[in-house]
Structure 1
Amino acid sequence: MRTELAELALALFVERGYEDTTVEDIAAAAGLSKRSFFRYFPSKEDVLFGDVEDLADRVADAVRARPAGEEPWAVLHAVLREWEARIHAAQWDMAALRLIESTPALRARLHQRRDGMRDRISTALRERPGTGLDTFTADLLTACAAAAIDAATREWLRHDGTDDRGELVDRAFTMLAPGP
C-alpha cells in the first residue's frame, strides 16, 4: 500500500504541482482518510523520501563490509557505484527527480535526508577496522562522494536518462579522487 500511495502521490504532484497537492487530495484519490494516510507516511514529503533511512543503513552496512585495507575513497566509490542505481530505482524515477529538483521544499528535504545519510556513511567509514580516519577526513570524503553522486544524477537528468549512470558515477569519482 505504501508503494501504491507513493506512486499515486507522485502522479498528483506531477499533474498538479507539489505545493498544490494536499494530503487530503492524495488520501481521497487513494480512497483513504487523511488519518489513514498518516499511518503510512508521517508527512507529505515522506511520500517521496520515506525509505531513505533504511537505505542509508544498508549503504552504511555495505561500507563496513568492504575488505579491510581498502582505501576509504575506493570503498565509497565501490559501494556508492553499486547502490546508486538501487537508491534511485527504489524511489525516484525521472519524474520524481525533476519534481524534487524544481520544488524548493522538496530539494530542502532531500538535502536534509542526505545529511543524515552522509552522517551514517561517514560513521561507517570511520568504524572500518584499521582505517584510523578522523571525523573531519571521513566527513570530507563522504561529502565529496555525495557531490559525485549529485553531479552524476544532474548530468543524467540533463540527458533525459540516456547516459549510463554507472559511467557517470565512475567519471565523477575519478575526477574527485584524492591525490597521493
Structure 2
Amino acid sequence: MGLRERTRRAVRAELAELALGLFVERGYERTTVEDITAAAGLSRRSFFRYFPTKEDVLFGDVDDLAEQIAEDIRARPGGEDAWACLHAVLRDWEPRIHAAQRELTGLRLIETTPALRARLHQKRDELRGRIAAALQERPGASLDTFTADLLTAAAGAALDAGARAWLRSDGTADRTELIDQAFTLLTPRL
C-alpha cells in the first residue's frame, strides 16, 4: 500500500471517529455533513471524496473488507466443505469486521437509528453477494447459486446473533466463542 492510500485510509478513519462522536453527542439525524466537515476542517466536497453519503462514514470499510474476505474464501482448500470454509474465514475476520463497525458505541447507534440500520442491511447484502460468489469460485466448488446464497445468509445470521449477544453482554462476552457456538448450532445437514 502506497503513501497516498495510507493517507486516504487515515483520513477516512479520522473522519469516521469524528463523525461517530458527533452522532453520539448530537444524534445522527441532527448532525449534518457540514457539522462533520467543520469539525474536521474539510470542505463538503472533500468529505464526499471519502464517503458517498453521510451513512457511509460508519460503513466505509465494508467494501474493502468484503473483497478481502472473498479473496480469503477463494484461497481456501478446494475440498473443504463450504460451511467449514465460511466458519474458518469469518471466524478469522470477525475481529476486523467488528472493528469496522466501531465497537459498542457505533453498534448501538446503528441499532437505534433507522437510516443507519437500513444502510447496514444494504451493505450486508452487498457483502453477502460477494461472499456467495466467492464460495462458487473456489477451486473444485460445485455449489449452485441457491445453496451459496443460503449458506452465506446463514453465516451472516450466525455473525448477527453473535454481535447481538455481545451487545447484550455490554461487550464482556467472548465474540469468538459466540461465533463458534452460532456456527455449530447452524451446521447444515447436507
Q: Give the CA RMSD over aligned residues.
A: 0.9
* CA distance in 2 between partners of 1:157 and 1:110 (Å): 16
SS of the residue corresponding to residue 162 of structure 2 reads: helix
Pairing 1:62-81 to 2, within 5 Å after superposition: 62-81=72-91
* CA distance in 1 between partners of 2:178 and 2:137 (Å): 28
Given candidates 57, 73, 78, the residue that maps to 2:67 is 57
In the alignment, structure 1 residue 35 sits paired with structure 2 residue 71: no
Moved over 3 A (4+): none
Shift of residue 91 of structure 1?
4.1
Deviates more, 1:85-94 or 1:134-143: 85-94
In the alignment, structure 1 residue 15 sits paired with structure 2 residue 25: yes
SS of the residue corresponding to residue 174 of structure 1 reads: helix
The gaps in structure 1 that reach 5 residues or longer are: none
AA matched with 2:121 = H
Shift of residue 33 of structure 1?
1.9
Pairing 1:127-146 to 2, within 5 Å after superposition: 127-146=137-156
Shift of residue 90 of structure 1?
3.3
Percent of pairs with identical residues: 72
Q: Contact 2:129–2:149 at 8 Å: present in 1 too? A: yes
Normalising by structure 2, what TM-score?
0.92
Deviations 1:29-65 (A, max 9, x none): 1122212211221110110111211100000011111
Aligned to 2:94: 84
Q: Contact 2:101–2:107 at 8 Å: present in 1 too? A: no
Given candidates 150, 157, 162, the residue that maps to 1:152 is 162
The gaps in structure 2 that reach 5 residues or longer are: 1-10
Deviations 1:102-125 (A, max 9, x none): 101000000000000000000000
Deviates more, 1:108-117 or 1:24-33: 24-33
| Corresponding pairs, count | 180
Aligned to 1:99: 109
